[in-house]
Structure 1
Amino acid sequence: MRAIGQMPPEMLSGDGVSIRLSGYLEPCAPTHVPTLRYAIETAGQTVGELRIRLGESEDLKRYFGQIGYEVYPAFRRRGHAGTACRLALEVMRDLGYGEAWITCNPENLASRRVCGRVSAELVETVDIPVDHVMYEHGIRQKCRYRVVL
């Protein structure tokens, strides 16, 4: 796993959206890597969450992704996830990563559009192994997107 060369930013902003560091999660199941948690905010209101998983394991790049995001239902379809994801890519670049992996379920069209907005390249769609924790939760495939930083 890559060591953090510097402290991650407390807050980044762009296009009316901010991500504000809200916590640091120690490595634990299922990803087993440290995770930065950010609140996605606009106009002083929290509209979602963003996670940056600090690792480069094959499991992380292939199934979980290094960046995860969720915009609460009342705030969707306004571009918040795309802007927050672009800000997350800045954080990863500042931490010394040369690429970032984002994964999503094939049927999650909104997340796939976000990947397109941040110029992520669809590398492949992979099947989840039957012995993987995601399979136990009913997830059968993941689309793998890569962004060169």
Structure 2
Amino acid sequence: MMTPMAMPPETVSRDGVTLRLEELVEPRPPIDVPALRYRIEVAGQAVGELRVRLGDTEDLQRHFGQIGYEVYPAFRGHGHATTACRLGLAVMHDLGYGEIWITCNPDNKASRRVCEKVGGVLAETVDIPAGHVMYQHGIRQKCRYRVSV
């Protein structure tokens, strides 16, 4: 868990990928925990976004995940999500987390590979409850990956 003295880094880089802190997102529904929104850059160009969610709620662990990422379609297939996710895990480690959860849709094979490449272990696939916001958006299941940071 993030300690009061811990400050997130504004930039972190690895293997040609940089995360640049864009915003500290205040808690708001449906996730209700603060988050760090990073821009994923390669050679100075934005190729996606990564969110580090600063909490440890059951809903984060089971449904949303504590790290969320998106690589824009034109930049997929180059390992940027994997590298960005590794950088996000390093941020979480530095903020005091020892273990986190990343979730993805069961049919998203690329995201499942990212979870596995960063050391995630598939714990289970869970059904989304009918009243949950994800269910309302057509999402019925999530794969839950446990990652040691």
TM-score by length of 1: 0.97
What residue is the counterpart of 1:89 in the other structure? 89
In 2, Cα distance between equivalents of 1:88 and 1:4: 19
In 2, Cα distance between equivalents of 1:87 and 1:108: 21
What residue is the counterpart of 2:139 in the other structure? 139
In 2, Cα distance between equivalents of 1:126 and 1:138: 14
Name the % identity: 68
Trace 1:35-114 onto structure 2 (pairs within 5 A): 35-114=35-114
Flag structure 1 segments of 5+ consecutive residues without an equivalent.
none
Deviation string, structure 1 residues 15-52 (Cα, Å, up to 9, x no partner): 11010101011000110000100000001100000000
TM-score by length of 2: 0.97
Matched positions, count? 149
In 2, Cα distance between equivalents of 1:90 and 1:70: 18
Q: Which amino acid aligns with 2:55?
A: G
Q: Secondary structure at the match of 2:21?
A: strand
In 2, Cα distance between equivalents of 1:105 and 1:5: 35
Following superposition, the deviation at residue 3 of structure 1 comes to 4.0
In 2, Cα distance between equivalents of 1:51 and 1:12: 14
In 2, Cα distance between equivalents of 1:3 and 1:94: 10
CA RMSD of aligned residues (A): 1.0
In 2, Cα distance between equivalents of 1:40 and 1:133: 27
Q: Which amino acid aligns with 1:44?
A: G
Q: Secondary structure at the match of 2:115?
A: helix
Following superposition, the deviation at residue 131 of structure 1 comes to 1.0
